[in-house]
Structures are given as structure tokens and as C-alpha cells.
Structure 1
Amino acid sequence: MSDEAFRTVIEPFRIHSVEPLRMTTAEHRRQVAREAGYNLFQIRSENVLIDLLTDSGTGAMSRDQWAAIQHGDESYAGSPSYFVFRDAVRELFPYEHVIPTHQGRAAEKILFGALGGVGKVVPSNTHFDTTRANIEFTGAEALDLVIAEGHDPSSLHPFKGNMDTARLKALLAERGDNVPCVMMTITNNSGGGQPVSLENLRAVSEIAHAHGKPLFLDACRFGENAWFIREREEGQGERDVPDIIRDMAACADGMTMSAKKDPMGNIGGWLALNDDDLAQQCRSVLILTEGFPTYGGLAGRDLEALAQGLKECVDHDYLRYRIRSTAYLADALDKLGMPCLKPAGGHAVYIDARALLPHIEPLHFPGQALAVALYEAGGVRSCEIGSVMFGRHPDGSESPAAMELVRLAIPRRTYTQSHIDYVIEVCERVKARAGDLPGYRIVDEPPALRHFTATFEQFG
């Protein structure tokens, strides 16, 4: 028998429990979209057939995670479930203080409440929406310093999530007194799920520390980033993923984490760091807003499930399947001539709405137009990452985002290949009539994170 690898990368699991999907008609979906103000966040999930809005908290937990839930201890203080969780985090991220939160944005809120403020500036490769909002809420500036290739959807640079180290050096030289910390998002979600190399992470760490600045990781998809390092970075190809993750963690002084991503929880997150004084300050806010430091807004059963998920998400067979299944969708759309950000990211495929819909001006929201069309055509819910999400600035002004993308985020262990084949067919139908899609205007919007609740109307 040969040990040669097979062409087909199968799911490294069997389906143990199923839930039904509701089939709907195109007319029904058009009505639903109108009633939701053309905001896909406002559509009830039972009216969605394939939900690719986000990979956050939408994955399928494993048999062993559900079994771990039965070990959950719901003591208010000092639950053994916290220590199981803490030790699982430290196995990969050996930071002194591990502070649980109900999800990642709570960790961001606590951290930047302590470090932010008027006149401050927080650089990152690219801040995601809640990170940016939590920084700006304090009056600070969230600054993106991704490399030039990160703004080029067609570039095949293997690590398009990297930070521009020259720009970071210049910022710290010119405004260092106003920089409380440096952030790195791994993988770079707003930039197309693109990874950061270990070489770049080490360089950023050296620059930050040379200027006396702590480095924090927004580490939601650390396992996927580590797999890309193993696959693409010279000298990393034979290494175990947990060892690569520890090297990534060693570059930083702490992290914020949405455990609804790579750790495969339906809820949860944490803030981890080494600074004793900052940790004490953050715990005080945690008690005020989230809960006691050994549960932080989570049930003990959630902590147990996350601890098990941290073991599963670094498995090589799982990561090989995860990254390859995303690339399967990207490769198929590329064959259709659908313009997508290249190379494929880890958790999602990003369609280049600006290239597909050149007749729609950026501030008429081509990404929103495409996302609505995908839903109306086949019940596929996606997420605009463009000028709706990032076009409005804290002073109220508007300008086009760097890219106009539509993200098809793939929940972990949830959909089969036939589901993805259906998504490909829906995309093909929408592409065939792309020139007929209308732009949109915003009718009503909140002062922050408008993409969640704004309402729209079509032009024409």
C-alpha cells in the first residue's frame, strides 16, 4: 500500500447530530430583505439557508466539548472549571494573568479602557471593527499599518497580513509618547483573513520593545495563522503547530481573544497579559462589568468547552481540512471569473466587490449590493467589509474604504462540501447579472458600528 497523499482532503470527523435547514423562495427572500432594511444582520436566521455572515461562535462543537460541558462547575468564585480553562490557555499562551470575558470585544473594551484616551494612537496591521470602535470610543486613534500588498486584492504575497515595519518605526519616532501599545491581528481579518509571518511578528516585537511599548495580539485565529506559517514560511514546515503558537505568543506581552473563533466555542473570550499592575486594573473593571475573575461572564460549562476546543483547534488534520476547504471555495470562484482577494485566507473567502461592480460608486456601497444579491438569489448570508463598515470616521466624515469586500466566512465543522458547491452556484448566478445590481444609500444609522443596525434603500 502507498502512503502517497490522496487528492481529496476529507473532513476529519463524522456528523453525529443534525439540524434542519429551511428552504425558501426567491420572492420570500426579497421580501425579507426589504423588511430588514437590506441589512443582513437584521434577518432572522431561520430565513437564511447557508449562513456565512461570520465564523464567530457559529461552529459545531465536538462530542468531547459537549462531554466537557458536563464537568462545568458553576461556583461563583474559584470554580475548578476556571483553572482547567486557564491551564489550557497557558499551554499555548504562557502569560501570567488569564482573565476570562464573555467574548472578545469585552476584552478589548477592558484593555483600551485602561490604555486608550484622547490623543493616544494604537497602531496595528489592521484593526477589526470592534477593536477599532473600542479604541475610538476612548478618544484614541486606531491606525492601520499593513504592508502595501495587503491593500492589493490580486497580490499573491504569502503573508499579506504583515505590518509595515518602516511605518511603525516612523510612527514611534514621531509620536511615540502617544502610543500606549502596538497591536497585531492574526490572521488579519479586515485584510482578507491573511496571515502574519513569524519573521514579521518578531520584527514588530523588537521595534515595539525597543521603544518601550508592549505588543498585544488580537489572536482570534491563531491556529490558522500558525498553520499558514508552517505551510509558507521557510524553516517552519516540519514543526508542530502548538510550538509555532508558543513562538508567536513569546513575541507579545499579552493578547485579546474571541474564543468564538479558533477555540471553537459558541461564546467566550479572554484577556491575557504579564503586567501585574495592568492586570489588576483590568480585573477591577472586569468585576464591575463582566463578573468575578474566575468566570468573567461565562458559565463554568463554557470554560470547560473552551479548554477542550483549545486542544482540538491545533490538530494538524483539522487545520489541513480547515484551510483546504476554504481554498476549495476560493479556487472555484476564481474559475468562474469571480474576482476574489488572493491568496485565500484561513477562515473566509473575500469577493472583491469593487472589481465585480465597477458601476457602483464606493459610497453607494458595492459590497452591500453584492451581499444583498447573494442572499436574495440563494439565501446565502455574507458580510460587507468595505465602506459601510469602515467608510465613516469618528468626526462624521465619509470616505471610501481601502477595499470593498464581501466576506464569506465559513463556520467550523458546520457545512459539507455540497453546501459549499451550492454557494458556488449562487455566486455564479449573481455574477451573471452583476451589471444590473443597484447601489444603496443609508437611511438610518447609529453613531458607531453602523453596519450592525443601519437601514438601507436601493437607488433606482
Structure 2
Amino acid sequence: MTIKYVPEPFRIKMVERIKMLTREERIEKIKEAKYNLFNLKAEDVYIDLLTDSGTNAMSDYQWAGIMRGDEAYAGGRSYFNLVENAQEIFGYKYIQPVHQGRAAEKVLFPLMLTEGKIAISNMFFDTTRAHVELAGARAVDCVVKEAGNPSVRAPFKGNMDVERLEKIINEHGKEKVGLIVMTITNNSAGGQPVSVKNIREVSAIAKKYGIPLCIDAARYAENAYFIKQREEEFKNKSIKEIIKEVFSYADAFTMSAKKDAIVNMGGLIGIKESAELYQKIKANTICFEGFTTYGGLSGRELESLAIGLTEGLDENYLRYRIGQIEYLASILDDHGIAYQAPVGGHGLFIDAQAMFPHIPYNEFPGQALAIELYIEAGIRSCDIGSYMLGNDPDTKEQLKSEFEFTRLAIPRRVYTQAHFDIMADALIEIKKRAASVNGYRITWEPPVLRHFQASLEPINK
């Protein structure tokens, strides 16, 4: 039964015109893009769900903040506004701005990971995994088993498998484990939340073996909202109180602020108390990002980020944000379209393997569904499956993902109920002709993060 759409807790003050190509035009455009949705021009996309990163609509307060941004090279007012706000929210002593999340990983990870070491996570996303490997280490996923079954409606499918985590540490030896990473929410597992109970347990294991614990905090506010809704201990706690609790168990965090801070560019590194590590981070920031008090960002971006960190914690906004996705999911339930259930925080992860059981993992069902969505309705989405996972860094063989998802990542404060109805209608139409959809093969790929650049062609059977 379709649930009621949650009304927007804001008014629209400015609009951006978008165009819609014909079906024939879209078929030609995706062919020209070599069946890689990253190669499409944005103007040829009607509803852009490729990512929720940096695609958000900023508020009037944020735009006003842009006018107030202090563009000083060193020690600008906007830097101190950001640091003070972040310190208050997260409870960490040291805050370092960078230009986005992967920059935070580039700055921090080489200080903790070297050749021969491993990093363990509840699940690494693509760029995080790449930065682990670029540091010479290897990434090991350790998500709970229920995450592997999209139809199982467990409340915290993003959790770390604690028993397996300790087993991996003992198998490799604690000296080989450079870092434990908790991704909140767990993007690759379908935007699924992580409980405070699980974070406590992982923290205890990290302390037991003397291994640093880092939070990948891109969607920390959405995760806190799920905790409030689903974890009994925190039902009467505020979002800010929950965040303080979550971050108290880690030693550091990296953040793409382009998600839950509702900005178009920005990132953060947080260090709880290690002055020695912070000094090394500052040195790397100067080398890679610019001076420490701007970290690759303009003053106006620092100012809008300081404001967005607070706006992203508003409970009415978070209720609307998650409610949009629950509305879409309820329509799909009525038509038997499988997804990673219950819904994630930042999007809906359609079970492409269930949609196309005849397409094997090495012909990329998640990518096939993403292409069909563009052809059907001009919707751009992306594969979260074997195509994104890539090849084993040692054997170069195609890896098999635990999931074959097509992610509909929802930009914040951008699309209306009518757009969500179009998303649902497109998936319903594709399901009707699912048996006729074929897979794809890669004709060219780069060695790292291939899905951003690879060329593909359809497999005609």
C-alpha cells in the first residue's frame, strides 16, 4: 500500500529548468557515452540520481553565508566558524577542512596504512577502497550477513559483523591491521544504518587490539535519525546527542560534507585528541589541498559548510528526507520490485539481480538496469555491484559483489513528488520487459576506479 508523501519543510524560491529528450534521442546519447552514465552530459539527463554528493539545494541562509565568506588565505573568519561548529557537533579537538571526502582519505590514510597492511570496514565504498589500495594496503569488508539478503528487513543492516571482525584481526595479526573503518550509513550495503550498540562493540575490539577506529561520516545525520527511530535506548535523545555518542567511540573521522552538510563542495577530517597525528595531517593538507585554514575550499564554501552542518541535523528535514524514499519504496512494494529493504538514508538500492536473474554478475545487471532507466525516462543512476567493485588488485580477475544494486541516490531538497512518481513508473515499465534486457561487457577500463571512465557495449544474445 502506497504511504503518504511527507510534505517538504521548506518553500521553493528559485527553480532550474530541465529538458527531457525523446526516447530515440536518449538511446543515441547513451550509445555515444559508451554505455557509461558518467559520460553523459548533465543537460541530457531529466532526473539525475547518479549521486547525492554535491548535488544538493542550499538554503537561503547558506547562500547568504556565501556572501559573507572570508577569502583570506590564512586564518579567515569562515575557517574558525566552521571549526567551532564542527567541534561542538562532533566533540573532537582537531578539525581539518579539505575539498571533499576522497581528499580526506588521501590526507589521512597514508599516515595509517602502508604496504602489507589491511583495513577492515563494515563495507568500503569505491573511492575509500581505492585510497586504501593506493596506500599499499588491502581493503576487507566485514558487513553483517543479513545485509546480503535484500528482502530481510533488519533495522541495522549496515552493522559490522563483530565476531568476524575479531576473527580477521587474529588471522592477520593485530600488527597487520592499520585501521578499522565504520561507514555510516553503509553506502555499499544500500545506505543501511549502523547502531550505537554495534559501534560500541567495534570500538571495544579496536581498543582491545590497539587499532585506530575511523568513522566514514558522509551520512552521519541520516544514520543518527535511523538510530532515533530504531534503537530503543535513543528514542528520546536529540539528533545532536546521538551524534555526540556515536563519535565518542572513534579516534578519527573522514567526511564528504557534500552529503549530509548539504553543500556542493567540502570535506572534513576530525581527530579526537592526538596532537601528533593532527600535525601530520596539517603537513599533508598543505601538500595536497592548500594551506590548513582553507583546505582546498574558498572562504564562501567554508561559510556555507559551517551553516549546512547544522541545517542537516534538523529533525523535520530528516523526516522528510527519509520519507521521500519510503514513499517511492511503497510504490515498488505494490508492484513486486525488490530493493535493499528497509530503505536506506540517501537513496533506494534496486535489486538488479532480482530484476534480471538471467544476467550473470560479470555482465553487470546493476549497470544494465541503470542504462534501462536512462532509456526509459531520462533517469541517471549508477551500479553498486560487480561493475563498480572492479578487479582483484592482485589477480586482476573480476570480483563478484555481494550485491548487484542499481542506486537511485536522491539529492537533498531537489526533487518533488511528481519526480518520484516518474521514477516508480519507469521501474514498473522496465520490469514488464525485464526478460528482454541483456548484459554488458567492458571494452576498455582504467586500472583504478574503472566505473567512472570505462567503455562498455551491450551483449546481444
Q: Same fold per TM (> 0.5)?
A: yes
Q: Is 2:104 the counterpart of 1:107?
A: yes
Cα drift, residue 91 of structure 1? 1.5
Contact 2:391 2:399 in 1 (8 A): yes
Q: Which segment drifts farther, 208-217 or 39-48?
A: 208-217
Paired with 1:184 and 1:402, the residues of 2 have a C-alpha distance of 18
Aligned equivalent of 1:50: 47
Paired with 2:170 and 2:127, the residues of 1 have a C-alpha distance of 28
Q: Deviations over 1:166-194 (max 9, x none)?
A: 11112223321111221100000000000
Which residue, 201, 204, 219 being the options, matches 2:202? 204
Paired with 1:428 and 1:354, the residues of 2 have a C-alpha distance of 16
Q: Is 2:75 the counterpart of 1:78?
A: yes
Q: Is 2:174 the counterpart of 1:176?
A: yes
Aligned equivalent of 1:272: 270
Q: Which segment drifts farther, 120-129 or 276-285?
A: 276-285
Q: Deviations over 1:240-282 (max 9, x none)?
A: 1000000011011110000000000100001111321111111
Aligned equivalent of 1:3: none
Matches within 5 A, 1:129-208: 129-174=126-171, 175-208=173-206
Aligned equivalent of 1:241: 239
Give the partner amino acid of 1:271.
I
Aligned equivalent of 2:432: 432
Q: Is 2:389 the counterpart of 1:390?
A: yes
Matches within 5 A, 1:179-328: 179-273=177-271, 274-328=273-327
Question: What secondary structure does 1:235 align onto?
Answer: helix
Question: What secondary structure does 1:181 align onto?
Answer: strand
Give the partner amino acid of 2:195.
S
Paired with 1:88 and 1:392, the residues of 2 have a C-alpha distance of 41
Q: Deviations over 1:69-88 (max 9, x none)?
A: 11100000000100000011
Paired with 2:189 and 2:390, the residues of 1 have a C-alpha distance of 15
Paired with 1:70 and 1:139, the residues of 2 have a C-alpha distance of 42
Aligned equivalent of 1:12: 9
Superposed structure 1 runs of 4+ greater than 3 Å apart: none
Paired with 1:391 and 1:335, the residues of 2 have a C-alpha distance of 34
Q: Is 2:415 the counterpart of 1:418?
A: no
Give the partner amino acid of 1:379.
G
Cα drift, residue 8 of structure 1? 5.0
Question: What secondary structure does 1:322 align onto?
Answer: helix
Paired with 1:454 and 1:139, the residues of 2 have a C-alpha distance of 23
Question: What secondary structure does 1:70 align onto?
Answer: helix
Question: What secondary structure does 1:243 align onto?
Answer: helix
Question: What secondary structure does 2:178 align onto?
Answer: coil
| RMSD value, Cα | 1.0
Paired with 1:236 and 1:222, the residues of 2 have a C-alpha distance of 15
Paired with 2:111 and 2:348, the residues of 1 have a C-alpha distance of 35
Q: Which segment drifts farther, 268-277 or 436-445?
A: 268-277
Question: What secondary structure does 1:400 align onto?
Answer: coil
Cα drift, residue 54 of structure 1? 0.4
Aligned equivalent of 1:26: 23
Give the partner amino acid of 1:370.
L
Aligned equivalent of 1:446: 446
Paired with 2:215 and 2:63, the residues of 1 have a C-alpha distance of 29
Aligned equivalent of 2:116: 119
Question: What secondary structure does 2:214 align onto?
Answer: strand
Q: Structure 1 stretches of 5 or more lacking a match?
A: 1-5
Give the partner amino acid of 2:354.
A
Alignment TM-score, normalising by the size of structure 1: 0.98
Paired with 2:330 and 2:91, the residues of 1 have a C-alpha distance of 37
Cα drift, residue 399 of structure 1? 2.8
Paired with 2:380 and 2:151, the residues of 1 have a C-alpha distance of 24
Contact 2:5 2:324 in 1 (8 A): no
Cα drift, residue 9 of structure 1? 2.2
Question: What secondary structure does 1:256 align onto?
Answer: strand
Paired with 1:398 and 1:8, the residues of 2 have a C-alpha distance of 41
Cα drift, residue 7 of structure 1? 5.4
Contact 2:87 2:94 in 1 (8 A): no
Question: What secondary structure does 1:100 align onto?
Answer: strand
Question: What secondary structure does 2:269 align onto?
Answer: strand
Give the partner amino acid of 1:112.
F
Cα drift, residue 319 of structure 1? 0.6
Q: Is 2:375 the counterpart of 1:376?
A: yes
Over 3 Å counting, the alpha-carbon distance change for 1:199 and 1:100 in structure 2 is: same
Q: Is 2:35 the counterpart of 1:38?
A: yes
Paired with 1:60 and 1:210, the residues of 2 have a C-alpha distance of 43
Paired with 1:169 and 1:372, the residues of 2 have a C-alpha distance of 40
Paired with 2:450 and 2:442, the residues of 1 have a C-alpha distance of 10
Contact 2:151 2:340 in 1 (8 A): yes
Q: Deviations over 1:322-360 (max 9, x none)?
A: 111111111111211111111100110011111110111
Cα drift, residue 210 of structure 1? 1.4
Aligned equivalent of 1:403: 403
Q: Which segment drifts farther, 151-160 or 272-281?
A: 272-281
Contact 2:203 2:249 in 1 (8 A): yes
Q: Deviations over 1:217-250 (max 9, x none)?
A: 0000000000000000012111110000000110
Paired with 1:117 and 1:151, the residues of 2 have a C-alpha distance of 30
Paired with 2:245 and 2:252, the residues of 1 have a C-alpha distance of 13
Paired with 2:234 and 2:269, the residues of 1 have a C-alpha distance of 28
Q: Which segment drifts farther, 354-363 or 184-193?
A: 354-363
Aligned length: 455
Contact 2:192 2:345 in 1 (8 A): yes
Give the partner amino acid of 1:389.
M
Q: Percent identity?
A: 50
Over 3 Å counting, the alpha-carbon distance change for 1:7 and 1:379 in structure 2 is: closer
Paired with 1:426 and 1:352, the residues of 2 have a C-alpha distance of 15
